[in-house]
Copies of this chain bind each other. A is one copy, B any other.
Amino acid sequence: MRADVLRLPMAHPGDLSALDVAIASGRVEAASIVAIIGKTEGNGGVNDFTRGYFTQSLMALLASHTGETAATLAGRIPCVLSGGTEGVLSPHYLVFSRTGDHTSVSTGPALAIGTAFSSPMDPADIGRRAHVESVAAAVRAAMADAGIDDPAEVRLVQVKAPCVTSARAEAARHAGRTVLTADPGRSMAFARAAGTLGVGLALGELSAPSEAAMLSDFTVTCDRASISSGVEVEANEVIVLGNSPTWSGPLRMAHRPMADALDIAAVVAALDDLGLDARPQLTPSDKARIRGVLVKCEPDRRGMIRAQRHTMLDDTDINAQRHIRGAVGGLVAGVIGDTRIFVSGGAEHQGPDGGGLIAIIAEIPGSLS
Contact = CB atoms under 8 A, between A and B. Distances in A.
Given A14-B53, A47-B315, A56-B14, A309 B279 contact: no
B12 A316 contact: no
A339 B304 CA distance: 10
A interface, how many residues as a size bin? 35 or more
Contact of A281 (B50, B56, B265): B265
A171 interface: no
A75 interface: no
A9 B326 contact: no
Interface in A43-92: 43-50, 52-53, 56-57, 60, 85-92
B14 A86 contact: no
Interface stretch (A22-30, A121-129, A247-255, A329-337): A329-337
Contact of A314 (B46, B57, B279): B46
A272 B273 CA distance: 26
A268 to B, nearest CB: 5
A323 B12 contact: no
Nearest to A90: B308
B13 A49 contact: yes
Contacts of A48: 316
Given A280-B280, A330-B331, A262 B339 contact: yes
A334 B264 contact: yes
